Amino acid sequence: MTHAEPTIEPRYGGYTRFELEVEFVQCLANPAYLNHLATQKLLDKAEFIAYLNYLQYFSQPKYAKYLTYPGPTLRALELLQQEQFRKDILMPGLVHAMMEEGIKATTGERP
């Protein structure tokens, strides 16, 4: 009788792929970071868009529970699926408006 070897999940810089994906997805809640991705032309690359699509699995409750700010994080992930948003996030006015909206949401202020 043979015993199966336990599978060891690969680590990247000491972290599992899931840990790195959680960290990256949470960064998407920051409008300034979205703007940075756009200015670096990452939002123009089909491979990067496919990766963002793959990360949609975080919208499932069993994964969303790992997100610190699931609302803004998942909303950003959803918006990044739209080509027009990926272009518009280059505009400082949109970045500022999104930041203001986030501040109001966390402080309980209403527009």
pLDDT digits (tens, 9 = 90+) for 26-56: 999 999 999 999 999 999 999 999 999 999 9
Mean pLDDT of 67-77: 92
Cα 2 to chain centroid distance, Å, stands at 42
What per-residue confidence (pLDDT) applies to 107? 46
Cα 101 to chain centroid distance, Å, stands at 18
Q: Is the pLDDT of residue 64 over 80?
A: yes
- What is the DSSP-derived secondary structure letter of residue 12? E
The alpha carbon torsion through 99, 104, 107, 109 (nearest 10 deg) reads 170
Q: Which of 88, 81, 108 is nearest to 38 (CA)?
A: 88
Cβ-contact 100, 94 below 8 angstroms: no
Type of residue found at 55: L
What angle (nearest 5°) sits at the alpha carbon of residue 78, between those of residues 34 and 35? Answer: 10
**Residue 64, CA distances (Å) to 7, 21, 77 in order:** 25, 12, 12
